[in-house]
Amino acid sequence: MHELPALIEKCLRGDKRSTARLISLIERADPAAPVILERICPHTGNAYTIGITGPPGAGKSTLVDRLVQAFCSQQYSVGVIAVDPASPFTGGALLGDRVRMKHDRGDRDCFFRSMSAGKVMGGLAGATQDAARVLEASGRQIILIETVGVGQSELDVAKATDTVLVVLTPESGDSIQMMKAGLLEIADIYVINKSDRPGADSLSRALQAMLDRKPMTGGMPCWRPPICPTSASLGQGLPELYGCIWSHHDHLRKTATLEERRKSRLKAELQQKIEEEITQVVREILLDETEAAGWLEDLWARKVDPLTLARRVVAARFR
């Protein structure tokens, strides 16, 4: 693709259209993706990333919209990635009233991008992180990533951020014991959204009780996830939530946990990418049908057992 270098240069200068095109290339694992990632790498690694997750319809998008306003009013340049659920159960039809975010209004500097969990090649978390890298390279200082807290891969996306907001609603109150522990465990901050409805207090008490039972982790001094009641649609509790987010950021910095978290994320990403590369090599090995037919004959004639043969093939390939 001959215009790729120009596209990357424009992205690095903050051009939104080029940024969007680069993310699309990465999303569909285009052969240009490695070139893009290599070129932008020196311009990444410092953006503050915030994951927003929670049950379908909890008000995540409405909340993200409010947070974007807050960050932009402090002159931060913001990027948003919303991962659309892969499952037809949680997406679209069932939740007819999903909020369409309004960031790209002329009065605010925000880049909004939605990614479909179903379409992404390779790991969802990896693709989202790469998209976030492009956003950062284009000058975004704060990146908000919204995912529905249902499947493991969606939770992994949220976990791969600096600060994780788990958004619940008063309706979650009764089912808190039944809720996937995985969702509750990843929170740095609990948001009880829709606090304009009854039941917010009892959910708050249930969460406090749960936190009281839990041993503290995450650097010294320990961080106890605060519980923030909000009403995103009415605009209530937002300054307090905004304050909690920055407190967590400061905590991460002071305790060196930010660096630790980012390093362990890089390690996990590297492992994932190595696995993907090896899977690719395996596919290539099996693509040679004549050779594969010969192996099968040897196996069938019991000249060799599958494990020994597999080891031979691998050794020959990686010698």
Ligand X SMILES: Nc1nc2c(ncn2[C@@H]2O[C@H](COP(=O)(O)OP(=O)(O)OP(=O)(O)O)[C@@H](O)[C@H]2O)c(=O)[nH]1
Residues binding Mg ion (CB under 5 A): 60-61
Q: In the bound complex, what is the minimum distance in angstroms from residue 167's beta carbon to ligand X?
A: 7
25: number of Cβ within 10 Å: 18
CB-based contacts of 83, cutoff 8 Å, min separation 6: 114, 115, 116, 117, 124, 128, 145, 146, 147, 148, 154, 157
How many angstroms from the chain centroid is the CA of residue 71?
A: 19
The number of CA neighbours under 13 Å toward the Cβ of 310 is: 4
Q: In the bound complex, what is the minimum distance in angstroms from residue 59's beta carbon to ligand X?
A: 3
Question: Among Mg ion, ligand X, none, what binds residue 233 when CB lies within 5 to 8 Å by partner kind?
Answer: ligand X
Instruction: Give strand pairing partners of 131.
Output: none
Question: Among ligand X, Mg ion, none, what binds residue 57 when CB lies within 5 to 8 Å by partner kind?
Answer: ligand X
Q: In the bound complex, what is the minimum distance in angstroms from residue 311's beta carbon to Mg ion?
A: 48
Question: Among ligand X, Mg ion, none, what binds residue 150 when CB lies within 5 to 8 Å by partner kind?
Answer: none
Q: In the bound complex, what is the minimum distance in angstroms from residue 98's beta carbon to Mg ion?
A: 5
- CB-wise, 36 or 166, nearer to ligand X? 166
Q: CA–CA separation, 80 vs 166, rounded Å?
A: 17
Q: CA–CA separation, 101 vs 214, rounded Å?
A: 36
Q: In the bound complex, what is the minimum distance in angstroms from residue 101's beta carbon to Mg ion?
A: 8
Question: Among ligand X, Mg ion, none, what binds residue 148 when CB lies within 5 to 8 Å by partner kind?
Answer: ligand X
Which residues of this chain interact with ligand X, rule CB under 6 A? 56-62, 95, 97-99, 148, 193-194, 196-197, 231-233
- CB-wise, 102 or 263, nearer to ligand X? 102
Q: CA–CA separation, 299 vs 297, rounded Å?
A: 5
Q: In the bound complex, what is the minimum distance in angstroms from residue 173's beta carbon to ligand X?
A: 15
Q: CA–CA separation, 302 vs 110, rounded Å?
A: 63
Which residue number places its CB atom closest to ligand X?
59
- CB-wise, 234 or 304, nearer to ligand X? 234
Question: Among Mg ion, ligand X, none, what binds residue 24 when CB lies within 5 to 8 Å by partner kind?
Answer: none
- CB-wise, 33 or 165, nearer to ligand X? 165
Token pair, residue 5, equals 């270098």
Question: Among Mg ion, ligand X, none, what binds residue 197 when CB lies within 5 to 8 Å by partner kind?
Answer: ligand X
Question: Among ligand X, Mg ion, none, what binds residue 56 when CB lies within 5 to 8 Å by partner kind?
Answer: ligand X
* Contact by Cβ (8 Å): 271, 279: no
- CB-wise, 18 or 62, nearer to ligand X? 62
The sign of the CA dihedral 203, 205, 210, 215 is: positive
- CB-wise, 233 or 255, nearer to Mg ion? 233
CB-based contacts of 153, cutoff 8 Å, min separation 6: 86, 117, 123, 124, 125
Spell out the SS3 assignment of 76-139: CCEEEEEEECCCCCCCHHHCCCCCCCCCCCCCCCEEEEEEECCCCCCCHHHHHHHHHHHHHHCC
Q: In the bound complex, what is the minimum distance in angstroms from residue 50's beta carbon to ligand X?
A: 15
- CB-wise, 11 or 58, nearer to ligand X? 58
